[in-house]
């Protein structure tokens, strides 16, 4: 059995490709009651703005559900004439700025004016290539990829940027470079797109919750809603009131995620942003954090004990 045969598991009925359960590096020791499909787009500012809510949901209720990311980018939409693309780049710059102002998660629209991303195709392939090394590392890679785009204004359609991201999160670079151009990865991406169409996903982000009863269909929700909506969905799907995990101590949270926005800390810990910033500044004085000002708000990098 070749590496590609071993790693790629395709369900032709659902149109899903990826690591087979027995080959996943992060295969759980027990089956969780729910599975959450997250349909996302690496260039989507709303998907990025959902990060604080997703972190909170995972930390409080992640013991009830596993997650799987699917690329739902409209890849064909990028094959346009230069004039039309230039116009849309200006529109995207405005969208990023508006999203940042509204949500508090920095999305620097200047990337579309200074260092525009020519296509969503290569970053989407990179996401699937990262999954070949396990969903956990892939999740870290996807986060780092979006930091490069939304915070640092990097062109994530540039292969050098993708490789640098892969290296910083600990992926096997040789395998990643090979996988990003492999037929296996291209097929996995096409399966994601097929799944998106079959589940009638029309926008990103879209979330589909499944329980362990095969007769029940999934519950689909498109767009971003208040945190309580997702908790109510968990309650409905579980048939019981879910019990949240105890909150991580703040320093443990920062150590776990390494680079976070004030907004993320505020959402996870139910704080006003000014109160979250006050707590974070104390850790800066203790030389455990580095403050990173960005166009909208502040990020914080954990630098150790």
- How many separate domains does the chain show? 2
Residue 305 confidence (pLDDT) = 67
Residue 13 confidence (pLDDT) = 41
Q: Which tens digits make up the pLDDT trace of 49-98?
A: 999 999 999 999 999 999 999 999 776 555 454 554 777 899 999 999 99
**Within this chain, do residues 292 and 205 fall inside the same structural domain, yes or no?**
no
**Within this chain, do residues 266 and 174 fall inside the same structural domain, yes or no?**
no
**Within this chain, do residues 54 and 166 fall inside the same structural domain, yes or no?**
yes
**Within this chain, do residues 84 and 198 fall inside the same structural domain, yes or no?**
yes
**Within this chain, do residues 286 and 203 fall inside the same structural domain, yes or no?**
no
State how beta strands 16-18 and 65-71 pair.
unpaired
Contact 96, 108 (CB under 8 A): yes
- Tell me whether residue 243 is in a domain: no
**Within this chain, do residues 185 and 88 fall inside the same structural domain, yes or no?**
yes
> What one-character DSSP code corresponds to residue 241?
P
Q: Which tens digits make up the pLDDT trace of 201-234?
A: 999 999 999 998 766 778 999 999 999 999 999 9
Q: Which tens digits make up the pLDDT trace of 4-19?
A: 333 444 544 444 454 4
Q: Is the pLDDT of residue 31 over 90?
A: no
> What one-character DSSP code corresponds to residue 171?
-
Q: Which tens digits make up the pLDDT trace of 122-138?
A: 999 999 999 999 999 99
Residue 218: how many other CB atoms lie within 10 Å? 15
Task: Using a pLDDT cut of 70, give the percent of the chain over it.
Answer: 85
- Tell me whether residue 244 is in a domain: no
Task: Using a pLDDT cut of 90, give the percent of the chain over it.
Answer: 79
| Alpha-carbon span 272 to 43, nearest angstrom | 28
- Tell me whether residue 13 is in a domain: no
- Tell me whether residue 15 is in a domain: no
**Within this chain, do residues 137 and 264 fall inside the same structural domain, yes or no?**
no
**Domain interval for residue 118:** 33-238
Listed residues 193, 210, 238: the one ending a domain: 238
Residue 256: how many other CB atoms lie within 10 Å? 12
Query: Residue 226 sits in a domain of what CATH number?
Result: 3.40.30.10
Confidence of residue 22 (pLDDT cuts 50, 70, 90): very low
Query: Residue 257 sits in a domain of what CATH number?
Result: 1.10.10.10
Q: What is the mean pLDDT of residues 39-56?
A: 97
Listed residues 238, 262, 289: the one ending a domain: 238
Question: For residues 2 and 264, which has the higher predicted lDDT (pLDDT)?
Answer: 264
**Within this chain, do residues 274 and 201 fall inside the same structural domain, yes or no?**
no
**Within this chain, do residues 70 and 213 fall inside the same structural domain, yes or no?**
yes
Q: What is the dihedral of CA 17, 174, 122, 15, to 10 degrees?
A: 0
**Within this chain, do residues 54 and 198 fall inside the same structural domain, yes or no?**
yes
Non-local CB neighbours of 207 within 8 Å, separated by 6+ positions = 36, 37, 38, 39, 220, 221, 222, 230
């Amino acid at each position: 059995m070749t590496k590609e045969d071993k790693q790629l598991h395709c369900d032709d009925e659902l149109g899903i490709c990826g690591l087979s359960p027995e080959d996943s590096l992060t295969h759980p020791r027990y089956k969780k009651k729910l599975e959450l499909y997250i349909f996302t787009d690496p260039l989507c500012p709303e998907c990025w703005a959902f990060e604080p809510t997703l972190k909170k949901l995972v930390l409080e209720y992640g013991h009830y559900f596993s997650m799987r990311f699917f690329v739902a980018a409209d890849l064909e939409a990028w094959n346009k004439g230069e004039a039309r693309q230039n116009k849309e780049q200006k529109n995207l710059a405005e969208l990023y700025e508006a999203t940042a102002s509204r949500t508090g998660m920095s999305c620097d629209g200047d990337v579309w004016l200074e260092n525009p991303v020519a296509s969503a195709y290569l970053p989407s392939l990179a996401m699937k290539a990262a999954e070949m090394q396990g969903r956990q590392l892939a999740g870290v890679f996807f986060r780092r990829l979006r930091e490069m785009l939304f915070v640092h204004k990097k062109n994530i359609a540039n292969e050098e940027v993708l490789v640098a991201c892969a290296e910083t999160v600990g992926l096997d670079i040789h395998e990643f470079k090979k996988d990003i151009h492999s037929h296996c990865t291209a097929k996995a991406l096409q399966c994601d797109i097929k799944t998106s169409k079959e589940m009638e996903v029309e926008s990103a982000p879209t979330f589909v919750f499944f329980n362990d009863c095969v007769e029940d269909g999934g519950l689909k929700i498109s767009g971003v809603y208040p945190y309580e909506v997702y908790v109510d969905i968990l309650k409905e799907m579980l048939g019981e009131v879910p019990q949240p995990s105890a909150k991580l101590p703040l320093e443990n949270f920062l150590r776990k995620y390494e680079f976070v926005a004030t907004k993320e800390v505020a959402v996870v810990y139910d704080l006003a942003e000014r109160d979250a910033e006050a707590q974070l500044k104390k850790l800066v004085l203790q030389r455990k954090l580095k403050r990173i000002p960005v166009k909208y708000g502040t990020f914080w990098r954990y630098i150790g004990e």
